[in-house]
Amino acid sequence: MLKILLIEDNKTYQKAIEKFISKEILFVEFKIIDTFEKLQKEEIELYDIAICDYILPDTKNDEHIEYLLNHYINTIVLTKYHDDNIREKYIDLVLDYIYKDDVNTFRYLTQLVKRYNKNKNKNVLVVDDSKVIRKKISKYLKLFNLEVLEAENGKEAKAILELIDNVSLIITDIVMPIMDGFDLIKSIRKNKSFEELPILGISGLNNNNETIKILKYGANDLIKKPVLKEELLIRVGNLLNLYDFINQYKQKSEIDPLTKAYNRNILESKIDSLFHIYDKKAIAMLDIDFFKKINDTYGHQVGDEVLKYFANHIKENIRKNDFLIRYGGEEFLVFMPNTSKEEAYIVLYKIKNSLKDINGIKFTFSAGIADEGETLAEMIKIADKRLYKAKNEGRNRIIFK
C-alpha cells in the first residue's frame, strides 16, 4: 500500500490528483490536508511520499517544504511559479519540482508516482571511479525509492553482477581504471542472461565519436556530465519502465495459460543454461494414458479440467527448484536439479499413487526418467524413449532404465 500525504488547498487539484493517481495505482491511500497547521499535526513517518503545493493559505514562504524535508519524507513540490531560484534551491533535495500548467501536470505526476512505487526494492548498480559522483547519483536514485549498489570500476561491477542476481539497471561511467565502461558494456552484452538488462552510460568525453560508441557497444541510453538530476531520473524511469515491460511480456510468453505450467519456450531461455550449471540433474517425461478417449467420451472441456488437475498435482509433489513444463498436449516434462533418476522415481511414484479421480474420471499416466546425456536435448530424448517403452509395456508405469 502506497501512502501519499497530499498537501494542497485547491479542491480541484486535490480531486484531480487523487483521481489520476488512483486510476493507475491499485493499492494507494491518500491523506489530504490543506494547511501548514494541519501538516504540523501529522505523523509524517507514516507516509511514503508527500505531494506538496508551494503556497498554502497559512504560510509566508516555503517553511512547510523545509518542514517536510526536515522530517526526511520524499517530497514532490507542485508550483505555479516558473521561478529558477526556487527550483535551484530545492531540486537537489526534493524528488521533483513540477509546474502546474495543464492536464499534463497530472499525467507527469502520475507517471512519476507510479514509477516511484515500482522502484521499491529494485537494485541499481552505479559504476564510477569518482566517489563524489557515485554519492551524488546514489542520492538522486534513493530519492526515487531505489536501492543502490556501488562499484569503482568495471571489474568490481562484474563481480557484483555475479553475486547479486536482481540488478535492474546499470549506470556506468566510461573512463575508469582497471576496466573501463566500454569493456564493461561489451562484457555484459556478451552474457545471455544480461541480454535485456538496461545500461545507462555517463560520458565525460568531449569527443562525439567516442561518446556514440557507448550506444554502439550496447548501452540503451546515455547522459553527459555534469549529471543533471531531472534528466537522470527521467531516463532511469524510462529504462526501468521498458525493462519491466519486457519482463512482464517474457513471463507471459513462458507460461501455459491452461495449466499455468511453463511452456516449451523456457527450455531454451532458462533450462538449457541451468542444465550446464548442475552436475546432477534428472528429467522426467509424463504423458496421460488414453487421453484422447477422455476427450472423446466426456468432451474437450472435461479434458481441460483433467489437464489442469494433473499439472497441479505434479506441482504439489515436486520441489520449489524443480520446473514443470507442458511439453505437448498432455505431455509434461519435469526438470529436477540435484536429483538422480532413482530419486526422481520416488517423486513420480508418489505422484502416481496419490492421483485422484477428477469429476469421477479415473486416469493414469506413463513416465520415462533419465539422468544421462551430455546435453538437454540428449537427456530429453532418453527420457522420451523410456516413456515410449512404458507405453508399450502396458502404460500406467514409470521407467528409468
Among 97, 291, 309, 363, binds ligand GH3 (CB under 6 A): 291
Q: State which residue, 288 or 324, has the beta carbon closest to ligand GH3.
A: 288
Q: Which does 63 bind (CB under 5 to 8 A by kind): ligand GH3, Mg ion, none?
A: none
Do the beta carbons of residue 259 and residue 316 sit within 8 Å?
no
Q: Which three cell numbers stand for residue 354?
A: 496419490
- Number of neighbours of residue 393 by Cβ within 10 angstroms: 11
Residue in 133, 123, 136 with CA at minimum distance from that of residue 198? 123
Point out which span in 52-60, 142-150, 264-272, 300-308 binds ligand GH3 (CB under 6 A). Answer: 300-308
- In a 13 Å sphere around the CA of 362, the CA atoms on its Cβ side amount to 2
Interaction between residue 295 and ligand GH3 (CB under 6 A): yes
**In 3-state terms, the chain is what percent helix, strand and coil (to 5)?**
50, 20, 30
Interaction between residue 384 and Mg ion (CB under 5 A): no
Give φ, ψ of 240 to 5 degrees: -70, -35
Interaction between residue 330 and ligand GH3 (CB under 6 A): yes
Residue 252: Cβ-neighbour burial (10 angstroms; 0-12, 13-18, 19+): exposed
Spatial neighbors of 38 by CB under 8 A, at least 6 apart, are: none
Among 60, 252, 300, 401, binds ligand GH3 (CB under 6 A): 300
Residue 318 C-beta: closest distance to ligand GH3, Å? 21
Dihedral (C-alpha) 370, 372, 378, 380: value to the nearest 10 degrees? 10
Point out which span in 55-63, 178-186, 261-269, 301-309 binds ligand GH3 (CB under 6 A). Answer: 301-309
Q: State which residue, 354 or 364, has the beta carbon closest to Mg ion.
A: 364
Among 184, 288, 351, 367, binds ligand GH3 (CB under 6 A): 288
In the region spanning residues 324 to 353, those forming contacts with Mg ion, defined by CB under 5 A, are 330
Point out which span in 143-151, 243-251, 257-265, 280-288 binds Mg ion (CB under 5 A). Answer: 280-288
> Three-state DSSP class for 342?
helix
Interaction between residue 291 and Mg ion (CB under 5 A): yes
Among 303, 311, 371, 384, binds ligand GH3 (CB under 6 A): 303
- In a 13 Å sphere around the CA of 5, the CA atoms on its Cβ side amount to 24
Among 155, 225, 391, 397, binds ligand GH3 (CB under 6 A): 391
The β-bridge partners of 123 are 147, 167
Centroid of chain to Cα 331 = 30
Give φ, ψ of 395 to 5 degrees: 65, 180
Q: Which does 292 bind (CB under 5 to 8 A by kind): Mg ion, ligand GH3, none?
A: ligand GH3
Point out which span in 3-11, 191-199, 272-280, 282-290 binds Mg ion (CB under 5 A). Answer: 282-290
Among 194, 290, 298, 388, binds ligand GH3 (CB under 6 A): 290
Interaction between residue 143 and ligand GH3 (CB under 6 A): no
Centroid of chain to Cα 394 = 46
Q: What is the total residue count of the chain? A: 401
Interaction between residue 287 and Mg ion (CB under 5 A): yes
Q: State which residue, 31 or 308, has the beta carbon closest to ligand GH3.
A: 308
> For residues 34 and 32, what is the distance between their CA atoms, to the nearest angstrom?
7
Give me the residues that bind ligand GH3 (CB under 6 A), please: 258, 287-292, 295, 300, 303-304, 307, 329-330, 391, 395
Give me the residues that bind Mg ion (CB under 5 A), please: 287-288, 291, 330
